[in-house]
């Protein structure tokens, strides 16, 4: 596992590579529930597809109240192309109603409360905490899990909860949210799952995967 100096170097290099560590899902910053539901729609779907669907969804249902009053079929008709639309529509309508009845229309700002919402797991909760509330947010998506394992920041586990717990020990809380966003950007641009472009990766000096392969060659 990486020491603090190596992790700091990785964090700083990522800042150079990706100065704007932003979520690729579009949403109105004044309406945190939009990000909440966009993340739900992004399950087994690309962010690009979700960004095509959500403007239509929120034009038809511009408020949390209108989403809460919608039927699952009405929502499902709009989000159909994101896949698994029945479950997603059910969660969006149910979560809208719960946000209104239990939280006064405000998206909660604690892990415990967020996990009570239909369709919300730790990845979504961490994203909301980091992006909406500026708190620590260890978002362990497939890119983050894979790349932190290759780098040697984690032990290579594929279990999201185990990786999150390891990252909580390795990555400073104030860096966590941006770090995870940059892992996604790096996974899309350089460290692609099927064929990592190690030759053009400036994280090579601190990458366990590269070091091992380089020694073997």
Buried b / exposed e across 20-54, counting CB within 10 Å, b at 16+? Answer: ebebebebeeeebbbbbbbbbbbbebebeebbebb
One digit per residue, pLDDT tens: the chain, 217 residues? Answer: 789 999 999 999 999 999 999 899 999 999 999 999 999 999 999 999 999 999 999 999 999 999 999 999 999 999 999 999 999 999 999 999 999 999 999 999 999 999 999 999 999 999 999 999 999 999 999 999 999 999 999 999 999 999 999 999 999 999 999 999 999 999 999 999 999 999 999 999 999 999 998 875 4
* Per-residue confidence (pLDDT) for residue 22, from 0 to 100: 87
* From 26, 47, 141, 208, the catalytic residue: 141
Alpha helix positions (H), the chain: 4-17, 32-41, 47-60, 64-69, 72-79, 85-103, 111-114, 122-131, 142-151, 160-170, 173-189, 208-216
Active-site residue 158, yes or no? no
* Per-residue confidence (pLDDT) for residue 216, from 0 to 100: 54
In order of their start, the domains of the chain are: 4-21+138-216 (1.10.1670.10), 32-131 (1.10.340.30)
* Per-residue confidence (pLDDT) for residue 111, from 0 to 100: 98
Distances (CA, A) of 200 to 10, 17, 20, 34, 217: 15, 12, 20, 36, 18
Q: Strand, coil or helix: what is 196? A: coil
Tokens of 8: 């700091």
Active-site residue 169, yes or no? no
* Per-residue confidence (pLDDT) for residue 215, from 0 to 100: 75
Q: Is the Cα torsion angle 135, 138, 141, 144 positive or negative in sign?
A: positive
- Measure the N-to-C terminal CA separation of the chain; round to a whole number of Å: 23
* From 88, 91, 123, 178, the catalytic residue: 123
Distances (CA, A) of 132 to 11, 16, 174: 21, 24, 14
């Amino acid at each position: 596992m990486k020491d603090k100096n190596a992790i700091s170097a990785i964090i700083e290099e990522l800042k150079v590579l990706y100065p704007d560590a932003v979520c690729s899902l579009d949403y109105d910053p004044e309406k945190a529930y939009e990000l909440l539901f966009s993340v739900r729609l992004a399950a087994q779907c690309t962010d690009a597809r979700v960004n095509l669907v959500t403007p239509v969804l929120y034009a038809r249902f511009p408020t949390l109240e209108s989403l809460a009053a919608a039927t699952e079929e009405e929502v499902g008709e709009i989000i159909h192309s994101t896949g698994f639309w029945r479950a997603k529509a059910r969660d969006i309508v149910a979560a809208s109603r719960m946000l209104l009845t239990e939280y006064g229309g405000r998206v909660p700002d604690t892990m415990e409360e967020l996990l009570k919402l239909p369709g919300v797991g730790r990845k979504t909760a961490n994203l909301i905490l980091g992006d909406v509330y500026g708190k620590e947010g260890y978002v362990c998506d497939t890119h983050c899990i894979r790349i932190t394992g290759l780098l040697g920041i984690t032990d290579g586990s594929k279990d999201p909860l185990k990786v999150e717990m390891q990252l909580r020990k390795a990555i400073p809380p104030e860096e966590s949210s941006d770090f995870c966003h940059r892992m996604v950007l790096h996974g899309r641009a350089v460290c692609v799952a099927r064929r990592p472009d190690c030759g053009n990766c400036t994280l090579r000096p601190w990458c366990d995967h590269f070091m091992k392969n380089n020694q073997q060659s």
